Amino acid sequence: MMADRWTRMVRQQVGLGRFLPLGGPYDGAWIAERAASGVLRGAAERDVPEVRLGGVRIGLADPGEAAEPAVPAPPSALPPGPLRLTAEFAATAAWPLPETASRLRTALAVTATERIGLDLTEVDLRITELLDTEPPSSRPGTPETRGGTDTSGGAGMPGAAESEAARAPGSAGVAGAVGGGPEGERVAAVVLRVPGVSRLTGVWGLPVRLGEQAPASGDALPRRHARVDLAVAAGFRPLEVARAVRAAVAEALPDRPTVAVLVTDLD
């Protein structure tokens, strides 16, 4: 049973892709690459319907320009810095290909920066195929358009059982699902009241983690650190929601810990 659980959790994290920095080094927020890619695909489908977007990857534009984050980053997260998006696409001949590429580049860049909050500075596109007809639209509610992630290890609604427990602060289910004991429950309740937070999620099974951050110098005392994994509701900008969550969690605990936010899903 334990081996199966670890296998599901590894598959979950692999499915999320890399964790991309939201905002700058002082924002303390990251978003799963898969969640961001889902929104980008939806924008391409809506704004450039004659295009079928292929593989999308987002990484650091120049690793040498990356900054040290002000709070501890989640495992495998990229450091804050300018990002580059690379993508392949197929398109019809309804528009001249350079014009199609320009429209697609604009749709992806605007969505990444304004809708999500990524520091995207470069968009590299490569056309792979000419289409005879316009590609069909994805069905509403599919992972490609929602950016959702299956955190349960099975089929159906992403993380449904975990989400129901996390939506009910003070219930018996929250203590086991959240982590961090009574303080973890308090953090969960505070986070779920922040506008734009649709649910708690949790990479490796815990949506709230409380621990100690190593001091910057040998003379300093350890400072507590909190990490919250969550989903952002439709119509809200993930970067702004993450900032609000960080402020709310720091205010909720008397020692005002450092706080990191990981957005795993965009609902």
pLDDT tens-place values along the chain, 267 residues long: 544 443 444 444 445 689 999 999 999 999 999 999 999 999 999 999 999 999 899 999 999 989 999 999 988 899 999 999 999 999 999 899 999 999 999 999 999 999 999 999 999 999 999 988 877 765 444 334 444 433 333 323 333 333 333 333 333 233 345 766 888 899 999 999 999 999 999 866 789 999 876 555 444 456 789 999 999 999 999 999 999 999 999 999 999 999 999 999 998
pLDDT of 168? 36
Closest CA to 190 of 243, 142, 133, 250: 250
pLDDT at 163: 37
pLDDT at site 171: 31
pLDDT, position 139: 41
Q: Confirm if 208 and 179 have CB atoms less than 8 A apart.
A: yes
Taking only Cα atoms into account, the Rg of the chain, rounded to an integer number of angstroms, comes to 19
CA distances from residue 198 to 57, 74, 87, 106, 208 in whole angstroms, order as listed? 26, 21, 29, 29, 15
Which CATH superfamily includes the segment(s) 148-266?
Cation efflux protein, cytoplasmic domain (3.30.70.1350)
**Cα–Cα distance, 72 to 77 (Å, whole number):** 10
CATH class of 15-143: alpha beta
Asked if domains 15-143 and 148-266 share a fold, the reply is: yes
Domain regions of the chain by residue span: 15-143, 148-266
The string of DSSP letters for 164-208 reads HHHTSTTSHHHHHHH-SHHHHHHHHHHHHTSTTEEEE--GGG-SE
Beta bridge partners of 188: none
Per-residue confidence (pLDDT) for residue 213, from 0 to 100: 63
pTM here? 0.78
- Sign of the C-alpha dihedral computed for residues 99, 35, 113 and 115 taken in this order: positive
Contacts 24+ apart (CB under 8 A), 60-65: 60/84, 61/121, 61/122
**pLDDT attached to residue 19:** 96
Per-residue pLDDT at 179: 66
Four-point Cα dihedral 212, 218, 220, 226, nearest 10: -20
**What region, left, alpha or beta, does residue 157 occupy, with left being phi > 0 and alpha being psi -120 to 50 degrees?**
beta
